[in-house]
Structure 1
Amino acid sequence: MADEPALPTLGGARPSYRERVADALRAALVAGELRPGQVHSAPTLAARFGVSATPVREALLDLVKEGLLEPVPNKGFRVTEVTGRQLDEYTQIRALIEIPTTVGLAASADPAALEALRPVALEIVTAAAAGDLIGYIEADRRFHLGLLALAGNQYLVEVVGDLRKRSRLYGLNALVEHGLLDSSAEEHLELLDALLLRDAQLVQSIMTRHLVHVRGIWAE
């Protein structure tokens, strides 16, 4: 059995355990704390979360449905591999959805709603500077899905959210060590400023660069 990563202890009402465990596991996957090929058991992870094994097992099964894990009989759950081709395909789909949607927001988004995302963009920058991968990933998710939500299409948000879950950023640790994550973080503030300027061409340029940057992170 591979060593289990240190994961946060959970609190709150029991009905939220499953979702909160699943979110924490996704974050650990994205940050590379749970690596491809590793096998993890529900009881061991439950001990680290400080909850019973049942909600942890349910959360692990949710991640199986998302293609992030696969069951290993009598052992637990193995982290699945994401191939370069899959990452290219995820990036292509995200570009087809996110770039034109975000460009459209340059004309339609309420400036107050855009400004409301600035604290989240600053969280991303702060987390990158501190090397806080889990904080970076969570703030990045809230920023991008919150931005897309301004287009008023919840199904679009769900599709992109699913793609983000499936595309795990295995190179984040290396980028932190080399101080390269900061530039990707700063792009979120650049994007907000361009949207507030109503500069559709600049928005398209930043979003295209950002997605290329993200695919470069995966390549690491």
Structure 2
Amino acid sequence: MRTAAVRVPAQPQAVDVDRERGVAAPGASAVAAATGAAEPPAVGAEVRGEHTHSEAPIPRPRAEGARPVVQRASVRGQILDALRTALVAGELAPGEVYSAPVLGERFGVSATPVREAMQQLALEGAVEVVPNRGFRVVERGTRELAELAEIRALIEVPVMLRLARTVPAARWSELRPLADATVRAASLGCRATYAESDRVFHRAVLALAGNSQLVRIADDLHRRAQWPLVGGPATRGRADLVADAAEHTALLEALVAQDLTVVQSLVREHFAGA
């Protein structure tokens, strides 16, 4: 079975394995409260992913002694972020099965926080449980992507049109640094880096509506739209990302001008192109 490497941003301190097992250490009480160091109760074997005898090891960095480490303050959250990044970057391939113990070895933590993060991804629809093996990355096609684009448009277009009528130009100008950040991220050609800056921009726009539930739902749909397609390219090209980012700047200009026709057109095209 093919197993892709997963990148984790280097952190200043390595995980203390004793803390992971519940051994007392300075600040361990706060760590346990934040991460739930003990094994989750009554977790069935079908979601534990313990059988790894046939699973190929995930490559480690070549430099001697180099190992991705994670701060214990929020292991599960950092692992979840790293797995989401790996999904967007195509490092966790659609259709492939990954076990919690092997991914935990890659991250330098026990299987528990990895399993918990994978269970969250299963709730989000990114992976599915494979009994006694681990988690399979869901295979998505172009139809699902088109459906997500349609739902996002149904939700966000009316909101943005309303905001275009009511939000002062000065407020839109305050979002210009976020739009510029997407352009810089796109120029790097890294899909994962761009995906995060893209979501930050869209969250900031929708936040002006003052509806936190709207922002949460739209962000979830946005994240799902960023997962790679089965049989498709692992990443979008730099030119595609740059063109996508340029639409953010154009959208802000249309919002400042209260040009509702252009706003509607840009938002729909933006979703479809994403």
Question: Aligning the two structures, in what range does the TM-score lie when normalised by the shorter sequence?
Answer: 0.7 to 0.9
Q: What residue number does 2:253 align with? A: 193
Match of 2:161 among 86, 90, 103: 103
For 2:145 and 2:204, the matched residues in 1 are separated by 23
Q: What residue number does 2:14 align with? A: none
Deviations 1:85-130 (A, max 9, x none): 3222211111101111112111222444433322222221112111
Aligned pairs (5 A) from 1:9-88? 9=9, 11=11, 14-88=72-146
Q: What residue number does 1:141 align with? A: 199
The one-letter amino acid paired with 1:209 is E
Give the TM-score normalised by the residue count of structure 1.
0.86
Q: What residue number does 2:7 align with? A: 7
Would you identify which runs of 4 or more consecutive aligned residues in structure 1 move more than 4 Å?
Answer: 10-13, 171-174
Q: Does 1:207 align with 2:243?
A: no
Per-residue deviation, 1:56: 1.5
Distance verdict in 2 for CA 1:87–1:16, change over 3 Å: same
Segments of 5+ residues of structure 2 without an aligned counterpart are 12-69
Task: Give the structure with higher Rg (CA).
Answer: 2
Per-residue deviation, 1:10: 5.8
Q: Does 1:175 align with 2:233?
A: no
SS state of the match for residue 180, structure 1?
helix
* Alpha carbons 1:194, 1:202 under 8 Å: kept: yes
Per-residue deviation, 1:140: 0.6
The one-letter amino acid paired with 1:77 is F
For 1:131 and 1:124, the matched residues in 2 are separated by 11
The one-letter amino acid paired with 2:260 is A
SS state of the match for residue 236, structure 2?
helix
Query: Counting helix residues as a fraction of each chain, which structure ranks higher?
Result: 1
For 1:125 and 1:135, the matched residues in 2 are separated by 11
Distance verdict in 2 for CA 1:13–1:180, change over 3 Å: closer
Distance verdict in 2 for CA 1:34–1:146, change over 3 Å: same
Over aligned residue pairs, what C-alpha RMSD do you find?
Answer: 2.2
Q: What residue number does 1:184 align with? A: 244
Per-residue deviation, 1:13: 5.6
Per-residue deviation, 1:84: 2.8
Give the TM-score normalised by the residue count of structure 2.
0.70
The one-letter amino acid paired with 2:176 is R
SS state of the match for residue 237, structure 2?
helix
Segments of 5+ residues of structure 1 without an aligned counterpart are 215-220
- What percentage of residue pairs aligned between the two structures are identical? 46
For 1:81 and 1:7, the matched residues in 2 are separated by 21
* Alpha carbons 1:31, 1:172 under 8 Å: kept: no
The one-letter amino acid paired with 1:176 is G
For 1:37 and 1:169, the matched residues in 2 are separated by 11
Deviations 1:127-160 (A, max 9, x none): 2111121110100111112211111111111111
